Amino acid sequence: MTPVVFVVCLLASLSSVTSQNIPPHIITPEAKTKEYLKGKSKVVLHCTASGNPAVTYKWYFDGTKITSTNYVKVDSTTGNLTIPSFSNREQGEYQCGVENNVGPGVYPLAMSPVTTLKEIVLKGWADSGAKPKPVNGSEGGYARLECGDAPASDPPARFTWFLQGVEGTQEQVKETNRIYIDDKGTLHFIFLEVADQTAVDIYKCAMYNDNPDNIQLGSPKKLTVKPADVKPQVPPKPVYRTVNPQFLIGQDAELECVFSGHPIPSVQWLGLRKELITANKKYRLDKNNMKLQIINITENDEGIYTCTATSSTTVEDNIFLDVTSGPIWEQSLHNQTIPEGRDAIFTCKARSARSEDELNAPVWYKNGVEININNLPGTGKMEFSDRYRVMTVRGLTKPGDIMCLQCRVTNSIGSEFANGCLNVIEPIIVTTQPSLRQGIKKGDLVNLTVRGTTDPGMTLRYRWEFKNKTYYTELPPYVTYDDVSDKAYINTTSLSDEEYKQIEGNYSRVLYHSFETHPVVIEVVLEDWIVAPVVVRQAGVPIWLIILLILLILLIIFIIICCCCYQKRKDRGAYKVYDTEVNTVYLSPDKDIEDHKFQNVTSIDPEEDESVKKTLNPNYELSDDDMDSLDGYAGGKSNAAYFSDDASFVGQYATRASQDF
């Protein structure tokens, strides 16, 4: 197929695609958020989603669907939620819901992550107008000024200190290597100078948070410093450290160590393995090293950190950092598109932070409505496994099983929410295919035509795979495509012998789209071609190695034959000892021959000599055949030279002969 023909066919296939019904997909908000707002401020929350047909929007407040009022307004077309004048009445959790109609009575509803709105709160001190509290110290010694019981603040407040004059003037106290303000608001004097003493001025603690228009001042403090003739040498001493710090995974943790002493101690930090911490991308050191910041903490950052102070001597203090978290996703829900007849699996699996209690089973929702796991909807459609963390929807049908599922997991720190929508489409069906194994001969036509159908909303595409190569816009070698008949084939008539050998193999016609792949494999076998050499070459065995093996086998056979022949020739001259001989008394023919030599053997007539007869065998009667046998031993001669007059010798061999015969 030429590129032009391919493009024309592709455009034709695209033009036949109808609009695909798709459940909602929420684009924003894509993650949970928390916002702190000033009272009476206008708030607009945005929600955007895709889907076909067009989607409509809903909003939920703490799990309840919102109906537009003067305080909160919902636009079902744009997805915007508007709060004209925010107050603590509207603070809480908001979720956007998006739905559309994908079939008769089928309205899948997708739910967004949670957006939390909170009003900025910073209350004033109850005793801010009280008389100044005196604090006394000595020059060179340590002193602290505390904020006292700080009022409620959301988000957590930050602190500073002011020197307030009689006329109401305020001068902010600047932090130095000798003056430090910790995260609880306490003002530390590492050692006192006379200049720190107040006369008519007073010290006041100040709180502020995300609302810069609201700064609260605490109760006044007066500081008196007793001068010294000579500033004393004071060894370092730990006077403050962060108590039970707990931070969430992903936050920046802050640890503080404050040491008093004169001269000012040098502060250093040691990590979990007692290594010296220096400033880098992971760690920041602030305020003369008295504050350590650990950036974007993980579970591996949990443990004991050590701060040391050195001047005339060295002292240290330890802080245990507790890293915690809400549920941590291991596998969350996601959108899926699956052909009819198959199963859909949704996994809602999360865990707690290390060394914390295991999470409870998740809560599941279908289209925003909680699923009662003890009374599941449908007839065996839904199944739960792995302690309710895995849901399986079996035997999908379109459009009835198009839906959106949600799950929520919770622990003492917080919760996580996930949404995943299921779209069901018609599967790929092969409508035309040839024989999947075609044995051919030169001159045959190889049929490779494969056609199929799929969901009207999908674009069905085709590709070829042959001998580890994929063909998207081209055809495998020697394959022809007829645009008129829409058939693919190989005409072997015009192929040379070498070309003909190359067409053998497996042709994969792959039908596919974004959500399914269906291969059809056609095996082409050349029945009129010796394929053994090809198979050997494909197996990667060299011809010379096969020849060597054959020669080796022939050599082994030749050696075996030679051994057999040699053994046979060796056995030919040996006297065969029978079992009857083995079982008789010991005989030594060689010795007997040597002793008697056969020279004095006389002719014996068993019929005339009864003594010999009895010696041979008292009960034995010689027959004519027996005599012939004896004549054989004498070479057919009966003269006396062949026999000895030794009756025992003759008797032994006669007895042996009688037994053998």
pLDDT of residue 620: 42
Domain 3-119 classification at class level: mainly beta
In the chain, which stretches have pLDDT less than 50?
Answer: 1-17, 531-539, 575, 577-578, 580-587, 597-661
pLDDT of residue 155: 94
pLDDT of residue 213: 86
Q: In what order do the strands lie in the sheet with 505-513?
A: 437-440, 516-526, 505-513, 461-466, 469-471
Q: Distance between CA 257 and CA 252 in Å, rounded? A: 17
Domain 429-537 classification at class level: mainly beta
Beta strands in 12-152 (DSSP E): 22-28, 33-37, 43-45, 48-52, 56-61, 64-65, 73-74, 81-83, 92-99, 109-111, 115-119, 121-122, 133-138, 143-145
pLDDT of residue 18: 61
pLDDT of residue 122: 92
CA geometry: angle 470, 474, 477, nearest 5 deg: 80
pLDDT of residue 563: 83
**647-660 and 589-596 helices cross at what angle (nearest 10)?**
150
pLDDT of residue 570: 66
Q: Determine the CATH number of domain 328-425.
A: 2.60.40.10
Q: In what order do the strands lie in the sheet with 246-248?
A: 246-248, 314-324, 303-310, 266-270
* Burial label, 190 (beta-carbon count in 10 A; 0-12, 13-18, 19+): buried
pLDDT of residue 582: 45
